[in-house]
Chain A
Amino acid sequence: NAGVTQTPKFRVLKTGQSMTLLCAQDMNHEYMYWYRQDPGMGLRLIHYSVGEGTTAKGEVPDGYNVSRLKKQNFLLGLESAAPSQTSVYFCASSHPGLAGVSDEQFFGPGTRLTVL
């Protein structure tokens, strides 16, 4: 099993450009998440999904959109990139766990994005 994979690993964008980050998992997990990690701030939740066709906003959703058309894939889109979106982006997946509370999360290797 590959676990959680992310594409691409690195990307440099110019301000105003758009791009899509792809996350795929082969563990049949219901829940998927997108986080960004910035120095000194830890991981912050951007959007998450509790099942195919459903998405919800996290702590820092502005400037991002997501889609979960297939259970195994979770896409993160930046429509008009800004320098403030320079960060490392992590995707994660999990089973629902007890009473719907997220169980342990499995993380991908990350995408390092720089916006000039």
Chain B
Amino acid sequence: SQKIEQNSEALNIQEGKTATLTCNYTNYSPAYLQWYRQDPGRGPVFLLLIRENEKEKRKERLKVTFDTTLKQSLFHITASQPADSATYLCAGDMRFGAGTRLTVKP
């Protein structure tokens, strides 16, 4: 079946470091991948979209890559801050991963 998987359920890092989250897709080829942030008790909020013909996209401290050979997207937050602590969701063609809960410690 078609799947989007985020390998890490949780990721803990120290403030100032770069957080790297992984998203893999299987049995289909999404035309784009999206990344969302979700805080407890709230709906997801859109962060970035990358299309299959784009290798990399940046927005402020965020960077997303799309590797169609590896069937993978990487999401990076540089110079992480405690305020970046949240669950991050990967999505492709209306399919969502289960999310990775990021905790940034001061």
Contacts and interface: CB of A to CB of B under 8 A. Distances in A.
A82 B41 CA distance: 23
Contact of B94 (A45, A90, A99, A107): A45
Contacts of B44: 43, 90, 105, 107
Contacts of A98: 51
A56 B36 CA distance: 24
Contact of A33 (B45, B49, B94, B97): B94
A110 B94 CA distance: 17
Interface of B: 4, 9, 31-32, 34, 36, 41-46, 49, 51, 89, 91, 93-99
Interface in A51-107: 58-59, 90, 92, 98-99, 101-107
Nearest to B48: A104
B99 A110 contact: no
Contacts of B49: 103-104
Contacts of B98: 40-42
Q: Contact size class for A? A: 20 to 34
Interface in A27-59: 33, 35, 40-45, 48, 58-59
The residue among B43, B96, B99 with the most chain A CB atoms within 10 A of its own CB is: B43
Contacts of B97: 42
Contact of B43 (A40, A99, A104, A110): A110
A43 B42 contact: no
B32 to A, nearest CB: 6
Contacts of A109: 42-43
A104 B46 contact: yes
A16 B3 CA distance: 32
A43 B43 CA distance: 11
